[in-house]
């Protein structure tokens, strides 16, 4: 049979069908888990930009993190523009602005926490990045992220500035990571573009 002309086609067809159905089955059984993981990473990042919430979930399990998210965080609505919001008794305590853009290797997606006064930064967290491990990837480490806490969004050209390591800082700037110039330049653009978009999406304040 193996000598027949039609045999290779038949064989490929059968082999492909068997292996494909196996892979499809395997994907289906793990799909919900994969999706949940992705969602959880996002939820944890949102909580991480509000220090008072983050301390309670730092070492929490997946389900505890999810519950904390559902309890404290509201989806974007007309009141908050494009940002998620942290509310207590329906009063806005802070905004979680999602920002994204091209990093050095692949897209960076991050969240910036802004206080209810819309001026003070509460925190910064990255939930997706593929920067160089040990260099650009340090943007998701606490040492870098902590710098953003209590910074003020500047009224000048840029809300927040990422400056060269060692240079003097002001109330709206943080230090970049040594050796990760590209990541820092891109991240600065991502943050500022994202914040600008959010402010434009906010309802105009009534005086």
Partner 1 sequence: MAATNLQVKKFAAEGLWGNNPIFRQVLGLCSTLAVTNLVLNTLVMCGALVFTVACSSATVSALRNYTPRNVRMMVETLIIAVYVIIVDILLKAYWPQMSSNLGPYVGLIITNCIVMGRCEACGISNPPVGAFVDGFFNGLGYCYILIIIATFREILGMGTFLGFAVPYFSTPYWDKWIMMVMPPGAFFMLGLVVWFFRTIQIEKEKRK
Residue placing its CB nearer to partner 1 in the complex, 29 or 167: 29
Task: At 67, give phi and psi (nearest 5°).
Answer: -65, -40
- CA 186 to chain centroid, in Å, comes to 15
Instruction: Check: CB of residue 112 under 8 Å from CB of residue 195.
Output: yes
Six-digit token pair at 67? 């519950």
Other beta carbons less than 10 A from residue 101's beta carbon = 16
Alpha-carbon distance 138 to 108, whole Å? 13
As measured in angstroms, the least distance from the Cβ of 44 to partner 1 is 11
Strand partners, 144: none
For helices 7-48 and 62-72, the axis angle rounded to 10 degrees is 60
CB environment 187-206: b (16+ within 10 A), e (fewer): bbebbbebbeebbeeeeeee
As measured in angstroms, the least distance from the Cβ of 182 to partner 1 is 11
As measured in angstroms, the least distance from the Cβ of 145 to partner 1 is 16
As measured in angstroms, the least distance from the Cβ of 173 to partner 1 is 23
- Say which residue the tokens 């600008």 belong to: 196
Binding residues for partner 1 (CB under 8 A): 2, 7-8, 11-12, 15-16, 19, 22-23, 26-27, 30, 33-34, 37-38, 41, 105-106, 128-130, 132-135, 178-179
């Amino acid at each position: 049979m193996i000598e027949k002309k039609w045999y290779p086609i038949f064989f490929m067809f059968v082999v492909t069908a068997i292996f494909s159905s196996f892979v499809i089955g395997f994907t289906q059984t793990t799909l919900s888990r994969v999706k949940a993981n992705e969602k959880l990473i996002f939820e944890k990042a949102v909580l991480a930009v509000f220090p008072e919430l983050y301390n309670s979930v730092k070492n929490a399990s997946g389900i505890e993190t999810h519950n904390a998210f559902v309890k404290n965080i509201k989806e974007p609505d007309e009141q908050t523009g494009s940002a998620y919001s942290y509310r207590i008794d329906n009063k806005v305590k802070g905004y979680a602005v999602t920002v994204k853009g091209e990093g050095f290797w692949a897209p960076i997606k991050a969240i910036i926490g802004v206080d209810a006064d819309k001026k003070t930064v509460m925190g910064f967290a990255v939930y997706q990045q593929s920067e160089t491990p040990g260099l650009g990837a340090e943007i998701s480490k606490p040492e870098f992220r902590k710098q953003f806490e209590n910074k003020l969004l500047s009224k000048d050209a840029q809300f927040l500035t990422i400056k060269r390591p060692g240079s003097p800082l002001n109330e709206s700037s943080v230090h970049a990571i040594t050796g990760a110039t590209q990541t820092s330049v891109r991240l600065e653009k991502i943050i500022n573009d994202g914040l600008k978009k959010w402010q434009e999406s906010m309802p105009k304040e009534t005086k």
